[in-house]
Amino acid sequence: MKAVFPGSFDPITSGHMDVLTRASGIFEQVTVTVMHNARKQGKHLFPLEERLEILREATAHLPNVAVDSFSGLLVDYMRQQGRSIIVRGLRAVSDYEYELQIAHLNRQIGDTETVFIMAATRWSFVSSSMVKEIASYGGDVSEMVPRASAQALRLKFAEAYAAKAGDTEKI
C-alpha cells in the first residue's frame, strides 16, 4: 500500500523524520507532500521551493519516499494520486483533538483513512515553529532537525548566528 504524508514542513523536523522513517518501513511507498495550512497563512519562513529542496535532501536516503507539493484540498490530491492512506504524526495528547477532527472530516469528504504514527518521545516537544524561534536567535537546533533543515536555518538567520558566534568569542 502507498501512503501520503502531508504537512507544511517549514522546515521538516527530526520528529517529522522519525514519523516518515517509521511510515517508510510500513508502507510500500510514502509521498511527503507539502501543502498549504490555512491556519499558518503568511507565517511561512521558507518558500515552497526551499521547503521542497530541504525535503529532497533530508529524504534522499529513503528509497521508497518521494517528495511532492499540492495547493488544494488534501482529499483532492489523494483522489488525483489514487491514494487513500494519510499518515500523520502524533507527538502528545495535545495534537490529538485537532488531528482527530481533520481525520474525520477528510474521511467524510474524501473517503480517506488516516493512520497515526507516534513520534518517539524525545521529539515530543519539537515543532517547526519552536525550531524557527530558537534559530532566529542563533540558538542550536542541530539535534531537532535534519542537517538539510539546520543548514537552511543557518543561512536564513545568518546574522543571528554570526552575532551569537561573536558573543561566544568575547567570552
- Give the 3-state secondary structure of residue 62: coil
How remote is the C-alpha of 38 from its chain's centroid? Answer: 16
By beta-carbon proximity to ligand PNS, the closer residue of 131 and 138 is: 131
- The reply to whether 128 belongs to the active site is yes
Interface with ligand PNS (CB under 6 A), residue from 37, 80, 108, 129: 37
Member of 102, 118, 134, 160 binding ligand PNS (CB under 6 A)? 102
CA pair distance 45, 131, nearest whole angstrom: 11
Residues belonging to the chain: 171
Given the residues 8, 24, 84, 128, select the one marked as catalytic: 128
Contacts with ligand PNS: how many residues (CB under 6 A)?
11
**Distances, alpha carbon 169 to alpha carbons 128, 165, 166, in Å:** 29, 6, 5
Q: What is the CA radius of gyration of the chain?
A: 17
Instruction: Reply yes or no on whether 40 is catalytic.
Output: yes
Stretches 18-26, 32-40, 45-53, 139-147: which one binds ligand PNS (CB under 6 A)?
32-40
Please tell me which residue in 16, 44, 51, 88 is annotated as part of the active site.
Answer: 16
State yes or no: is 36 an active-site residue. Answer: no
- The catalytic residue positions are 16, 40, 91, 128
